[in-house]
Amino acid sequence: MDAGLQAFTEESRELLESMEDILLQLEANPEDEELVNALFRAVHTIKGTSGLFGFDHVVNFTHRAESLMEKVRNGELNISNELLTLLLESRDHMNVLVDLALKGENDLLEGVATQGETLSAQLDHYLTDHSQQQADTSADESKSNAIASDIQQQPKLKNKYWHISLRFGKDVLRNGMEPMSFIRYLETIGDIINLTTLDDNLPEPDTMDAESCYLGFEIDLDSEADKGEIEGVFEFVQDDCVIKILPPFSRVELYLQLIEELPEDNYKLGEILTRSGALTQRELQEILAEQQQQHDSLEDGSEQTAQPIGELAVKQKAVESQVVEAAVSKQKNIKAKKEEENQVVRVSADKLEELINLVGELVISGANTHLLAKKSDNAQLIDATETLTGLVEEIRDTTLSLRMVPIGGTFNRFRRVVREVSRELNKQIELVISGGDTELDKTVVDKIADPLMHLVRNSIDHGIEMPSEREQSGKPAGGTIHLNAFHDSGSIVIEISDDGRGLRKEKILAKALEKGLVKENQSLTDNEIYRLIFEPGFSTAEQVTSISGRGVGMDVVRRNIDALRGQVDIDSTPGQGSKISIRLPLTLAIIDGFLVQVGKSSYVIPLDLVDECVEFDQVASDTYQGSNQINLRGEILPYVRMREIFQTAKQPDSETGRNKSCENIVVARYAGNKAGLVVDELLGEYQTVIKPLGTVFQNVKGLSGATILGSGEVAMIVDVPTLISYVSEGDRTKVTD
């Protein structure tokens, strides 16, 4: 049962997230039947699986939402903004109910119960009172009449029998119902022409529950009864079953819908057509017989083959071509989904984390083995350890890729935020997402979600103007917020931009002076002024709203980004908008590094940020007088000695084995800026397992972590972005101060 609950937890979370995404898509495409069907399936699945575990509160509430979605799917209700808002609120309440159920809390809290009663009343209103819906329909009466005319002209199948597609729920037996009694009752109101027993959901014998029902039926009924009378046969189990009833000579579209809703199984084309009621068993047998005759008449070795079942069914006018095409499409989709399911294995996040930690230890051990092999001066052993190192690198890359996920899932969460907050503020805002398939470490994705939330809400509240203000400025009434992600120089860049009013430097600077963050005559660049908004308690809002204005949040954004070894930059144009760029490492676990030595200490520079290496003596003659800049092939390159930055004593030449000092410059690039890092010795590439710095070193600048070398020595990982920033801005202050 623990394993079952774990599976339910994962599935319900995915379905609830899917519901929110579908509802937000429906706002833009309310006529999309695929989205409506997907939403109904999600609600139905949550209800069904909740019932298996006895989560009655979830089942009772979800049943109302499912009934409402059924009316939408049948065309009895139209999607409106009010209905979408209600369904989004219902989805949130379902999420709360599922959380409480998983915690074992059977008694709802007062606030949760009250919220549930309010939402249930609103859902019941839609289920019982369609006056508003009818008013909307009458306003488009001419359109409705045209649609009705089209429906009348649509082809109908010649099937003269009622077709009943019946799937019993697992709890039917537990509730005291006997499935065959309903079949016997059907025989009292008509003749059963065809009865196909389905066992699609039948599990393996070892896992079968004797009290659960796994049966389903496809029934062709010859009866003079109406649909209401046939539905009445299943009155006592209608909440525990999935029942579809198609009248004789139904329109093609109803059969197409039934084919789409067939459970995913390895059906043959003929089975799909009979199970949907498009063909009777007798018609299928006749088609199969003709196919066999064609096969027998062909000579041995002939390249010709008998006609497919679908072509023969259309040829005999037993079924419309659209139905055959839908059945073939269903068959292909089933096969594709089966292949996809076979390729996907769910792995616990804890197990994956443990695997990555073990791979990290393997990298360190491999480096130690290779070092010992070099010391042994055994050529064969060195070759063997180099081969081992290559395999370890492949294992490392494959393992890290398991934890790489697209950032699009995080971006999609903000659709709901933009929709609701913009409505609360009476603004018209569209969220545009690009680069959603860009992948990065799941750990980074989880930790960047909250900072992104703050930035998006700030763009909505502070960035985008009111519609009237935008129109006065010659802009469209509706504003746009753009979320974008892309890879750049071994990092991922996330951009949050808007076409709003932009940041006002004068206002920011005045507030900074008031709070004592800057001095009266202090000269600041535009970027330095913009970055003041990340100071604790800083806010230029004239009034506090429920969204922002208290000066909390942006400093948390910066702290969280710093904790991820990231950087944030701001670009703004008054009256045109702002863009905040966040640059993050792809992973927080293992990287390719470049090992260097400064004095007696070893340092690792992330290899993705290294452009080239040159001997300092070769370019020393081109050093600009009185400055830490050199002319590197016509390009001015600022540089800094890491020995000075980290206050490391120079190692005597007698200990290094060198006759004279021979420094090297490592040219590093980050976010479009370049700088030289002067080191004593280049030791080559090195697989680096990132170890976090302890609390004692958390505030040390210029270092982003540590690693363990094969010799057991600890090497510090250089924070290249910070060093480049200090070098580029000409700040000669010790980074570690």
Residues 6+ apart with CB under 8 A from 468: 477
- Confidence (pLDDT) at 737: 45
Phi/psi of residue 699, nearest 5 degrees: -95, 5
| Contacts of residue 360, Cβ cutoff 8 Å, sequence gap at least 6 | 589, 590, 689
Q: How many CA atoms lie within 13 A of 611 on its CB side?
A: 16
What is the per-residue pLDDT for 485? Answer: 92
* d(C-alpha 678, C-alpha 615), whole Å: 9
**Residue 212 CB neighbours (<10 A):** 16
Residue 479 pLDDT: 92
Tell me which of 473 and 247 has the higher pLDDT.
473
Q: What is the pLDDT of residue 481?
A: 93
What is the DSSP secondary structure assignment for residue 235, as one 8-state letter?
A: G
Give the pLDDT of residue 482. Answer: 94
Determine how many CB atoms are found less than 10 A away from the CB of residue 290: 16
Residue 698 has pLDDT above 80, yes or no: no
The residue-averaged pLDDT of 369-373 equals 87
Q: What is the Cβ-side half-sphere exposure of residue 341, based on CA atoms within 13 angstroms?
A: 8
Q: Is residue 336 predicted with pLDDT exceeding 70?
A: no
pLDDT given for residue 208 in this prediction: 82
Over range 133-151, report the average pLDDT.
43
Task: Give residue 726's pLDDT.
Answer: 77
Asked whether residue 316 carries a pLDDT value surpassing 70, the answer given is no
Residue 233 tokens read as 């046969």
| Torsions phi, psi for 718 (to 5 deg) | -75, 135
Burial call 605-617: b when 16+ CB within 10 Å, e when fewer = bbbbbbeeebebe
Q: How far apart are CA 69 and CA 13, in angstroms?
A: 20
CATH 3.40.190.10 fits 590-728, yes or no: no
Give 98 or 658, the one with higher predicted confidence.
98
* 3-class SS of residue 249: coil
Please give the sequence-ordered ranges of beta strands (E in DSSP) within 452-490, or none if there are none: 479-488
Q: What is the mean pLDDT of the chain?
A: 77
Q: How far apart are CA 46 and CA 371, in angstroms?
A: 56
Q: Which CATH superfamily is domain 2-153 in?
A: HPT domain (1.20.120.160)
Written as six digits, the tokens of 496 are 């949050």
Note whether 691 and 360 are within 8 A (CB).
Answer: no
Q: Which of 17, 106, 6, 22 is nearest to 59 (CA)?
A: 106
Specify the long-range contacts of residues 97-104, CB closer than 8 Å, at least 24 apart.
97/55, 97/57, 97/58, 97/61, 98/12, 98/16, 98/46, 98/50, 98/55, 98/58, 100/57, 101/50, 101/53, 101/55, 101/57, 101/58, 102/5, 102/8, 102/9
- How far apart CA 321 and CA 333 sit, in angstroms, is 18
Those residues whose C-beta lies under 8 Å from the C-beta of residue 388, and which sit 6 or more positions away, are 366, 369, 370
Whether residue 138 is predicted with pLDDT greater than 60 in this model: the reply is no
Phi, psi of 636 (to 5 degrees): -75, 120
Q: Residue range 543-551: average pLDDT? A: 50
In single-letter form, the type of residue at position 236 comes to: F
CB 703 within 8 A of CB 696: no
Residue 673 clears pLDDT 50, i.e. is over it: yes
Cβ(700)–Cβ(736) below 8 Å? yes
**CATH placement of domain 405-585:** 3.30.565.10
Instruction: Between 337 and 55, name the one with better pLDDT.
Output: 55
Separation between Cα atoms, residue 306 and residue 314, nearest integer Å: 15
Please report which confidence band the pLDDT of residue 719 belongs to, taking 50, 70 and 90 as the band edges.
confident
Q: Averaged over 364-386, what is the pLDDT?
A: 88
Q: Which of 254-258, 361-365, 407-411 has the lowest mean pLDDT?
A: 254-258
- The answer to whether residues 666 and 613 touch, using CB atoms and an 8 Å cutoff, is yes
The alpha-helical segments, DSSP class H, found in 129-262 are 131-139, 141-153, 179-186, 227-233, 252-260
Indicate whether 495 pLDDT > 90.
Answer: yes
Polymer length in residues for the chain: 737
For residues 603-619, give the mean pLDDT.
Answer: 86
CB 237 within 8 A of CB 177: yes
Round to whole Å and give the CA distance between 683 and 583. 28
Q: Between 26 and 277, whose confidence is greater? A: 26
> At residue 219, what is the residue type?
I
Q: Is the dihedral of CA 416, 422, 428, 430 positive or negative?
A: negative
Q: What is the pLDDT of residues 420-455, one digit of tens each?
A: 888 888 999 999 999 988 888 888 888 888 888 888
pLDDT of residue 149: 41
Per-residue model confidence (pLDDT) at position 550: 44
Q: Tokens 């330095």 correspond to what residue?
A: 528
Do residues 169 and 215 make contact, with C-beta atoms less than 8 angstroms apart?
no
* Whether the predicted pLDDT of 148 surpasses 50: no
The Cα 248–Cα 641 span in angstroms is 87
What is the pLDDT averaged over residues 38-51? 82
| Per-residue pLDDT at 136 exceeds 80 | no
Is residue 683's pLDDT more than 80? yes
Cα separation, 595 vs 606, whole angstroms: 9
**In this structure, is the dihedral angle defined by the CA atoms of residues 302, 303, 308 and 311, taken in order, positive or negative?**
negative
Pick the residue with more confidence: 707 or 322?
A: 707
Our measurement of the distance from residue 87's CA atom to the centroid of its chain's CA atoms, rounded to an integer in Å, reads: 21
pLDDT band at 151 (very low <50, low <70, confident <90, very high): very low
pLDDT > 50? residue 131:
no
Q: At residue 492, does pLDDT exceed 50?
A: yes
Q: Tell me what pLDDT residue 101 has.
A: 84
Q: Report helix, strand and coil shares of the chain as percent, to nearest 5.
A: 50, 20, 30
| Residue whose C-alpha is closest to residue 599's, from 521, 651, 550 | 651
Taking only the tens place, the pLDDT of each residue in 156-207 is 445 577 878 888 888 888 877 888 888 888 888 888 888 877 766 677 777 7
The mean-pLDDT minimum among 42-56, 61-75, 141-155 falls in 141-155
DSSP three-state, residue 248 = coil
* Range 117-143 average pLDDT: 64
In the prediction, which pLDDT does 534 show?
83
Q: Are 454 and 402 in contact (CB under 8 A)?
A: no
**Is 60 exceeded by the pLDDT of residue 254?**
no
Helix (H) or strand (E) holding 442: helix 442-458
Model confidence pLDDT, tens digit, residues 56-112? 888 888 888 888 888 888 778 888 888 888 899 999 989 888 888 888 776 677 778
Domain parsing of the chain, residue ranges:
2-153, 162-294+307-339, 350-403, 405-585, 590-728
The two beta strands, 577-585 and 567-573, are antiparallel
Structure confidence at residue 480 as a pLDDT band (50, 70, 90): very high
Q: Determine contact, residues 444/564, Cβ cutoff 8 Å.
A: yes
In this prediction, residue 494 has a pLDDT band, given cuts at 50, 70 and 90, of very high
Using the structure block, give the residue that is written with the tokens 């944030």: 568
| Tokens of residue 293, six digits | 């005759």
For residue 664, give the amino acid letter: N
